Amino acid sequence: MSRSSEWIEAFRGRKLVVFGDVMLDRYTFGDSTRISPEAPAPVFKAERVDAMIGGAGNVARNIVSLGGKAVLIGAIGADAAGRELQAAIEAEDGLSAALAINPDMRTAVKNRYVAKNQQMLRVDEEDVGDQPDSVVADMMSSLATALDGASALVISDYAKGVLTEDAIARACAIANDRNLPVVVDPKARDLSRYRGATVVTPNAKETEEATGQSCVSDTGAEAAARAIAQQVGCPMIVVTRGPQGMTVRNADDGITHLPTAAQEVFDVSGAGDTVVAALALGLGSGLAVEDAAELANRAAGVVVAKVGTATVSAAELHIAMHGTGPDGRLTVSLDGAVAATRAWQAQGQSVVFTNGCFDLLHPGHVSLLGFAREQGDKLIVAINSDASVKRLKGSSRPVQDEDSRALVMEALRFVDLVVIFDEDTPLEAITAIQPDVLVKGADYKPGEVVGGDVVTGRGGRIALAPLVDGHSTTAAIARANGPENV
């Protein structure tokens, strides 16, 4: 097992406490194809609504999805949104909460409207202001209890009023007394209010506002990180710089610059939450800040390729770092293939996709796969599930079950990853993976290739593999069943 595999495995079951502004993230997905006759505004046709735990709660969700356990401390209103939020928390395995109730506030809700993966509008419902003393006392009591047996404290500031300067100081003091690392995702312009933290993780904009120093260059980011360390009295700083990656300042004033692990960015919502969750899990597991930041950087690269306030799983993170699942297999979930693709593309590698049933592998298949491998740096092969093969080929097929076919495919030197899909076509897999090259046999015309428009629409290409005459699975099965069937 590699070192980074051991790091990710160390996350399993590790308890972290998250203290901060909790909110409900509501996404309304739909379409917009015309302008309103009433005003110069798009008409949005709603199709479905998804709601999930947001704000500090999304940090907690990421901790859980990465294999840890999280206790969420914050405040909500005595309203329908608060009850919906608590129900969502109860439904998450590994996540618990001790939320103080403030009857005089509304539970914060962010309403996002998304058409074709593009966010069109966000509508916020919230009451911003410091919490009353009674609510702060409830939260402090819950925090002290929750930190028993914990490995780290995360302070997630969304500037909604839960994290007053006094509340932050008291939370840091409780954690410091227990020798627990404190990881802060800041929001305030004055970063000195986070004094007592182990590591502060400002983004480029927050860093520039706090220091007046641009973070576009590595030199500027390095100077800014050191200025923040002096400002806050904090031993470690991680500046998240978007396309420029991360700059990490360790407790000995050493600087490390990490290039971005993201290439295809669909939605940055919650990316900072993912960074903080992975970083805190790493530090809570005893990793050096540079190693924890490397994991956090890779995790962020996965999550920005998703739509909505998303999380990244331990398996996805492992695949993004190693190109295999945690079990060493090349057969991974669709999310895992997406994670690996984003990691490869961020490194400048081109990803090739091909698909088929691949039931009884024959020289024609080998020729197709060899051709596909020559078209780029990495090859993902999508194979039809057993149910999909039966629908396409009849009740007597497949001859080999999907796991057997996947194992055979993994053994071929051409193949980097295998995905099993259950639909009749690979369109859903192609749309999610977004490969650079799509390969099919030359018996297709480019306009007939399923998913071809998805690939060419983002600047990719279709490649048609030469056919090998005299080889087919159907013919091989017929020969095996006797000369009369040939």
Among 337, 323, 325, 331, CA closest to 407: 331
Distance CA 486, CA 482 (A): 7
Distance CA 419, CA 426 (A): 10
Among 434, 478, 426, CA closest to 457: 434
Q: Crossing angle of helices 314-322/3-10, nearest 10°? A: 170
Catalytic residue chosen out of the listed positions 21, 138, 273, 359: 273
> Are residues 222 and 185 in contact, defined by beta-carbon separation less than 8 angstroms?
no
Q: Which amino acid is at 315?
A: A
Q: Which amino acid is at 319?
A: I
Question: What are 142's two structure tokens?
Answer: 């819950």
Q: Which residues pair with 18 in a beta bridge?
A: 72, 154
Give the CA angle between residues 90, 96, 101 to the nearest 5°.
85
| Residue 99, C-beta contacts closer than 8 angstroms, at least 6 positions apart | 22, 72, 73, 74, 75, 76, 82, 85, 86, 89
Helices (H) and strands (E) in the chain, counts: 17, 19
Instruction: For residue 117, give the DSSP letter.
Output: T
Active site residue 273: yes
Q: Is 412 left (phi over 0), alpha (psi -120 to 50) or beta?
A: beta
Bond from prior residue into 466 cis (ω within 30 degrees of 0): no
Distance CA 112, CA 95 (A): 24
Q: Phi and psi dihedrals of 458, rounded to 5?
A: -105, 15
> Are residues 260 and 244 in contact, defined by beta-carbon separation less than 8 angstroms?
yes
> Are residues 380 and 419 in contact, defined by beta-carbon separation less than 8 angstroms?
yes
Among 217, 441, 141, 346, CA closest to 449: 441
Distance CA 139, CA 254 (A): 36
Q: Which residues pair with 183 in a beta bridge?
A: 154, 199
Q: Among all residues, which ones are annotated catalytic?
A: 273
